[in-house]
Chains A and B, each alone.
Chain A
Amino acid sequence: MEYIHMVYAVFAPLIFAIIIPFLSRIKHKVHTGWLILPVPLLIFIYFLQFVGSDFETARQTIDWIPSLNIALDFYLDGLSLLFALLISGIGTLVVLYSIYYLNKEEQLGHFYTYLYIFMSSMLGVVLSDNVFVLYTFWEFTSLSSFLLIGYWHYREKSRYGALKSMLITVLGGFSLLGGVILLTIETGTTSIRGMIEQADLIVNSDYFLFILIFLLLGAFTKSAQFPFHIWLPDAMEAPTPVSAYLHSATMVKAGIYLMARFSPIFSEVPLFFIILSIFGLVTLAWASYMAVRQTDLKGILAFSTISQLGMIMAMLGFGTSYAVFAAVFHILNHATFKGSLFMVAGIVDHETGSRDIRKLGGLMTFMPISATLAIFGTFSMAGVPLPFLNGFYSKEMFFESALDLGGYSGSFIESLITVIPIIAVVGSIFTFVYSMYLFFGTFRGEYKESELPKKPHEAPFMMLVPPMLLVIGVMVIGLFPNMFNQALITHSADAVYGDEVAKDIKFWHGWDSPAFQMSLIVVAAGILLYLTKNKWHHIYRVIPGRFNFNRVYDWMVEKIESVSNRITTAYMTGSLRLYMILILTAIITITAGAILISDGFNFEVQDLAPITAPEVIVASIMAIAAIGTTVARNRIAAILILGVVGYGLAILFVMYSAPDLALTQLIIETVTVVLFLLCFYHLPNLTTNNNSIVHKGTNVLVSIGYGVLMLVIGVTAYNSRFADTISNFFMENTYELGGGHNAVNVILVDFRGIDTLFEVAVLFGAALGIFAMIKLRQDKGAK
Chain B
Amino acid sequence: MKQSNDLILRTTTQIIAFMLLGFSVYLFFAGHNAPGGGFIGGLMTSAAIILMYMTYGFEKIEKIIPINFRTLTVTGLLIAVLAGMGSMLFGASFLSHADGYYHLPLIGEKHLATALIFDLGVYLVVVGITLTIILSIATDSEDESNQNVGV
Question: Which residues of A are in contact with B by a Cβ distance under 8 Å?
Answer: 659-660, 663-664, 667-668, 671, 674-675, 678-679, 681-682, 738-742, 744-746, 748-750, 753-754, 756-757, 760-761, 763-764, 766-768, 770-771, 774-775
Contacts and interface: CB of A to CB of B under 8 A. Distances in A.
A679 B122 CA distance: 26
Interface stretch (B2-10, B11-19, B58-66, B124-132): B124-132
Given A742-B32, A756-B118, 9 more contacts: A660-B36, A664-B39, A671-B43, A738-B113, A749-B38, A767-B73, A767-B133, A770-B137, A771-B70
B111 interface: yes
Contact of B37 (A741, A745, A767): A745
A764 B126 CA distance: 8
B138 A678 contact: yes
A739 B125 CA distance: 24
B129 A764 contact: yes
B81 A757 contact: yes
Interface string B89-130: 000001101111000000000010101001101100110111
B21 interface: no
A739 B115 contact: yes
Contacts of A766: 129, 133
Nearest to B39: A664
Contacts, number: 137
B86 interface: no
A753 B40 contact: no
Given A667-B40, A739-B99, A740-B115, A770 B133 contact: yes
B44 interface: yes
A410 B40 CA distance: 89
Nearest to A741: B33
Interface string B30-70: 01111111111001100100000000000000000000001
Nearest to A670: B47
B125 A763 contact: yes
A56 B3 CA distance: 103
B141 A738 contact: no
Q: Which 4 A-B pairs have the closest CB atoms?
A: A739-B99, A740-B32, A767-B129, A659-B35
Given A667-B44, A749-B119, A770-B137, A741 B97 contact: no
Given A763-B126, A763-B129, A664 B115 contact: no
Contacts of B141: 678, 681-682
Contacts of B34: 741-742
Nearest to B132: A767
Nearest to B46: A671
Contact of B31 (A668, A675, A682, A745): A745
Contacts of A749: 31, 37-38, 97, 115, 118-119, 122
Contact of B43 (A667, A674, A744): A667
Per DSSP, are chain B's interface residues mostly helix, strand or loop, or mixed?
Answer: helix
Contacts of A764: 73-74, 77, 125, 128-129
B129 A663 contact: no
A761 B77 contact: yes
Contacts of B74: 764
Nearest to B40: A663
Contact of B122 (A741, A746, A760, A775): A760
Nearest to A749: B115
Contact of A742 (B37, B39, B94, B140): B37
Contact of B137 (A667, A678, A741, A742): A678
B36 A745 contact: yes
Nearest to B124: A760
Contacts of A760: 76-77, 80, 121-122, 125-126
A675 B115 contact: no
A770 B32 contact: no
B144 to A, nearest CB: 8
Given A660-B37, A757-B80, A764-B73, A750 B31 contact: no
22 contacts: A671-B134, A678-B138, A679-B137, A681-B141, A739-B97, A739-B98, A739-B100, A740-B99, A748-B39, A749-B119, A753-B95, A753-B97, A753-B118, A754-B84, A756-B122, A757-B84, A757-B118, A763-B126, A763-B129, A770-B132, A771-B136, A775-B140
A770 B128 CA distance: 13
Contacts of A768: 70
B138 to A, nearest CB: 7
Contacts of A664: 39-40, 43
Nearest to B99: A739
Contacts of B118: 749, 753, 756-757
Nearest to A753: B95
A768 to B, nearest CB: 8
Contacts of A745: 31-32, 36-37, 119
Contacts of A674: 134
B37 to A, nearest CB: 4
Contacts of A763: 125-126, 129
Contacts of A660: 35-37, 40
Contacts of A741: 32-34
B109 to A, nearest CB: 15
Contacts of B97: 738-739, 749-750, 753
A739 B36 contact: no
Contacts of A753: 84, 95, 97, 115, 118
A10 B29 CA distance: 79
A742 B115 contact: no
Nearest to A663: B40
Contacts of A675: 133-134, 137
A674 B119 CA distance: 26
Contacts of A659: 35
A757 B81 CA distance: 7
A634 to B, nearest CB: 20
Nearest to A674: B134
Contacts of A668: 43
Contacts of A750: 95, 97, 115
B71 to A, nearest CB: 12
Contact of A740 (B47, B113, B125, B137): B113
Contacts of A761: 77
Contacts of A748: 37, 39
B95 to A, nearest CB: 4
A371 B97 CA distance: 97
Contacts of A679: 137
Given A742-B35, A748-B37, A771 B121 contact: no
A758 to B, nearest CB: 10
A754 B38 CA distance: 15
Contacts of A739: 32, 97-100, 111, 113, 115
